[in-house]
Chain A
Amino acid sequence: MSERKITMSKAIAEAIDLEMARDPKVFVMGEDVGIYGGIFSSTTGLFAKYGGDRVKDTPISETAFIGAATGAAAEGMRPIVELMFVDFFGVCMDQIYNHLAKNTYMSGGSVKLPVVLMTAYGGGYNDAAQHSQSLYSLFAHVPGLKVVVPSNAYDAKGLMHTAIRDDNPVMYFFHKGLMGLGWMSSPATASTPVPEGDYTVPLGQAKVVREGQDLTIVTLGWMVHRSLEAAAELEKAGISAEIIDLRTLVPLDRETVIKSAQKTGRVLVVDEDYQSFGLSGEIAATVAEAGALKSFRRVAVPDVPIPYSRPLEQYVLPNPQTIAQAAQGMLEMVG
């Protein structure tokens, strides 16, 4: 049997399915995760297989059900909860950052919270300022939450297995435009061959998805695909770009970033999140602290909310052209 290629949404649902079959303590709750199968198809098929006791539709009460996940996890269950859009965190952040993220620490490690909080992020389809944000850096900033951001189906499945088995809270971000949904375009490279059985992808291990000599592009999620497109263009101009897919922000694989920075001497961060006070600054600090920072640039959302209108949104999101331009600019710099 040759390899099947599946979408990221199917990969995620498959990992959850396998874990639910393996461990009766694993259950899912969230808005429209039941019959609907998740607005972005992250739980398709699970309700039919496991029923409403283990795949629970919730009221629109995020504080209640995300807080309940913390409580259930403390009692030994392994909840997977879905926050429909990461943008909605505002209604329930206290339960996330003051409790889910801190109870383990405050209890001196005696309280285990094996919660997976999965959530949709990202823009590019004109959903405007309240439904298009990335925000993973905000959660990575808060100690106590592991943060996962897969860019393709293979990683998505393996990282979901790992996240569910982890005894700590994991925020699992999936980009809506990578899920392979019929109603939202997805780059063809997001669907990949995926084994049917279970396997894990470790947290804290970045992946060099393209080797190169002239500069290092550090990125994640949807921007991996856009960076790959940019790298193909740069290749034509004689520029060899290395691309690192971070895959997880917490833990962050600083070693892989530093190693590559030491090799190429130039680091470009491509980030769909807001530019200031976020991931790109953290990567800059990481390579600077390691003494590996010779040249640094970033392409990110220029500190404005995500606008609705197509030309406005396209302008603020990094794209292959703006990425390639930034890379070329770095190589044109003296030294």
Chain B
Amino acid sequence: MAKVVVKIPDVWGNNKDVDGTIINWFYDEGARVSQGTVIAEGMVEKVTFEVTAPVAGTLSKILSKVDEPIRVGSRVAEIESD
């Protein structure tokens, strides 16, 4: 068991100084997720992207709510790995 932070991947275009946001969380806190599961959907400017679980475990904490600003590398969730 270890705490793994879910970070926003670099799907930004050339301008990294634009805020993006999470538009949908597909799991609530406490949910079990597999490695690679799409746990959320983000959006930057006009492009949506997927946020996947880096490890299997329990989605212990959602750190970034829908519509809160995020950037590349933002810590948006924590997973307690198996």
A contacts B directly in the complex (CB < 8 Å)?
Answer: yes
Question: With a CB–CB cut-off of 8 A, which chain B residues contact A183?
Answer: 43, 46
Q: Distance in Å from the Cβ of B16 to the closest Cβ of chain A?
A: 19
In the complex, the chain B residue whose C-beta lies closest to that of A184 is: B23
Among the 9-residue stretches A3-11, A74-82, A270-278, A303-311, the one with 4 or more Cβ atoms under 8 Å from chain B is A3-11
Is A191 close to B, CB under 8 A?
yes
**B31 contacts A3, C-beta separation under 8 Å:** yes
Is A107 close to B, CB under 8 A?
no
Bitwise, A319-334 to B at CB < 8 A (1) or not (0) is 0000000000000000
Q: Distance in Å from the Cβ of B53 to the closest Cβ of chain A?
A: 11
Contact of B26 among A1, A4, A181, A188 (CB under 8 A): A4
Question: With a CB–CB cut-off of 8 A, which chain B residues contact A7?
Answer: 24, 41
In the complex, the chain A residue whose C-beta lies closest to that of B46 is: A183
**B27 contacts A2, C-beta separation under 8 Å:** yes
**B31 contacts A2, C-beta separation under 8 Å:** yes
Bitwise, B47-82 to A at CB < 8 A (1) or not (0) is 010000000000000000010000000000000000
CA distance A3 to B33 in the complex (A): 10
Is A197 close to B, CB under 8 A?
no
Q: Distance in Å from the Cβ of A4 to the closest Cβ of chain B?
A: 5
Question: With a CB–CB cut-off of 8 A, which chain A residues contact B27?
Answer: 2, 4-5
Q: Distance in Å from the Cβ of B61 to the closest Cβ of chain A?
A: 15
In the complex, the chain B residue whose C-beta lies closest to that of A4 is: B26
**Interface of chain A, helix or strand or loop or mixed?**
loop
In the complex, the chain A residue whose C-beta lies closest to that of B44 is: A182
CA distance A38 to B13 in the complex (A): 23
**B31 contacts A182, C-beta separation under 8 Å:** no
Q: Which residue among A3, A4, A182, A183 has the maximum number of chain B CB atoms within 10 Å of its CB?
A: A182
Is B7 close to A, CB under 8 A?
no
Is A34 close to B, CB under 8 A?
no
In the complex, the chain B residue whose C-beta lies closest to that of A180 is: B24
- In the complex where A182-B23, A182-B48 touch, is A2 in contact with B43 (Cβ < 8 A)? no
Question: With a CB–CB cut-off of 8 A, which chain A residues contact B34?
Answer: 1
Q: Distance in Å from the Cβ of B11 to the closest Cβ of chain A?
A: 13
In the complex, the chain A residue whose C-beta lies closest to that of B33 is: A1
- In the complex where A6-B26, A7-B24, A182-B41 touch, is A1 in contact with B32 (Cβ < 8 A)? yes
Is B36 close to A, CB under 8 A?
no
Q: Which positions in B face A, CB cutoff 8 Å? A: 23-28, 30-34, 37, 41-43, 46, 48, 66
Q: Which positions in A face B, CB cutoff 8 Å? A: 1-7, 180-183, 188, 191
Q: Could you list 12 further interchain pairs (A-B, Cβ under 8 angstroms) beyond the known A4-B37, A5-B25, A181-B23?
A: A1-B32, A1-B33, A2-B30, A3-B31, A5-B27, A6-B26, A7-B24, A7-B41, A182-B24, A182-B41, A182-B42, A182-B43
Interchain Cβ contacts under 8 Å between A and B, 21 examples: A1-B32, A2-B27, A2-B28, A2-B32, A3-B31, A4-B26, A4-B27, A4-B31, A5-B25, A5-B27, A5-B28, A6-B26, A180-B23, A180-B24, A182-B41, A182-B42, A182-B43, A182-B48, A183-B43, A188-B66, A191-B24
Pick the 8 closest A-B CB pairs, nearest first.
A182-B43, A182-B23, A2-B31, A182-B48, A4-B26, A1-B32, A2-B32, A180-B24
